Amino acid sequence: MLNETASSVEDRPSVRPIVRYGLPEDGNEEVRQMVMTVMTIEREIASLKDPRLVRAIGATSAPREQTPIRAVYEGQLMIDSETAYDKLDHLLMTLDALPLFREVDGKHIVIVMNGRVKPGKRGWWLNAILFVATLVSVLLLGLNMALNEIAAAEGIAAAREIGERGLLELWRGAPY
């Protein structure tokens, strides 16, 4: 049997309607205009199941339907990527959206995500605790290295004597 296309009632091939699913369409014209300021758009990826989108986000399967992806555009950047990102990020800030730049098969892909990162307030005390912990751990490591050098040069007994004093000898780790 031959592989023939099905015909319609009037003996013309039926045209399949283009079904767009997965990504919202409303409000994307404004996003498209913003993206066009930094990139020549060759194609808009309309399906979450598009293999290029899956590779661009580094997933092993298609994203879920509840994804925060607002729009995906494929094309070539008109300016260098760092400048393009800064410009597009500034433009999308008004829409509470965030751009992600990817490159797949030599094509640039811009993924526009809904929402932006809004870091919460954090007290200074956490930074102070982490700083002190880092300082003490570096000094302890330096002390350990200094004790090894003393043991190699003067003998294990001298290193053991210094090591028994514990934190009083912590200053020996300062050169490290």
Integer Cα distance of 10 and 5 in angstroms: 14
Q: Which two tokens stand for residue 87?
A: 């410009």
> 82 and 42 share a domain?
yes
Integer Cα distance of 136 and 128 in angstroms: 12
Q: Which two tokens stand for residue 91?
A: 């433009």
Q: What is the pLDDT of residue 150?
A: 87
Contact 39, 83 (CB under 8 A): no
Residues in the chain: 176
Q: What is the pLDDT of residue 18?
A: 44
> 110 and 129 share a domain?
no
The model carries a pTM of 0.54
> 132 and 108 share a domain?
no
Q: What is the pLDDT of residue 26?
A: 58
Place of tokens 């640039």: 108
> 48 and 96 share a domain?
yes
Q: What is the pLDDT of residue 19?
A: 43
Integer Cα distance of 98 and 79 in angstroms: 19
| Domain contains 11 | no
Q: List Cβ neighbours of 71 (8 Å cut-off, separation of 6 or more).
A: 23, 28, 31, 32, 35, 44, 111, 112
Q: What is the pLDDT of residue 107?
A: 87
Q: Which two tokens stand for residue 85?
A: 């990102």
Taking alpha carbons only, the member of 115, 117, 43, 92 closest to residue 56 is: 43
The domain that holds 37 is classified in CATH as 3.90.1070
Instruction: Please list the rounded mean pLDDT of every run of 10 residues in the chain (176 residues).
Output: 55 50 63 93 76 64 66 91 94 92 88 86 91 93 88 88 83 82
Q: List Cβ neighbours of 145 (8 Å cut-off, separation of 6 or more).
A: 173, 176
Q: What is the pLDDT of residue 170?
A: 82
Show the domain range for 134. Answer: 124-173
Taking alpha carbons only, the member of 128, 111, 150 closest to residue 23 is: 111
> 131 and 73 share a domain?
no
Q: What is the pLDDT of residue 62?
A: 52
Integer Cα distance of 83 and 123 in angstroms: 33
Dihedral pair phi/psi, residue 94, rounded to 5°:
-70, -25
> 54 and 130 share a domain?
no
Identity at 4, one-letter amino acid code? E
> 98 and 158 share a domain?
no
